[in-house]
Amino acid sequence: MHIRENEATDSIDWEYFYAGEKPWQPKAWGLLHDTVQNIPCSTCRDEAISLMKAMHDLVTYYVHPGRKLFDEANFLEIAERYSAAAKHLKAEGTIPHMEHEIVL
């Protein structure tokens, strides 16, 4: 399934994704991955693909503890970038009420 330029998300048959107990998972993940792979701007697309893979791995980590991550190197790179951004935002006061220490 690929999203074509200007294709509205409301044209997606969402019932297709919820047809049963678990069959929606690969279909929904496929839609999300296909969506970011079809972003027209190559810089934005590459960034979105990297973020999407990391998000998918994060969900895998929580939903299926012990399962091997799809792209461990990418996951760790994104985690480091998020940590650095959070530290920067906290330091400049953008996130003034952050209660947890950011450690990576």
Residue 44 pLDDT greater than 90, yes or no: yes
Residue 44 main-chain phi, psi, to 5 deg: -65, -40
Structure tokens at 12: 């997606």
Position 79 scores a pLDDT of: 94
Residue 5 pLDDT greater than 80, yes or no: no
CA-atom Rg of the chain in angstroms: 17
Position 2 scores a pLDDT of: 41
Structure tokens at 63: 């939903």
Position 98 scores a pLDDT of: 58
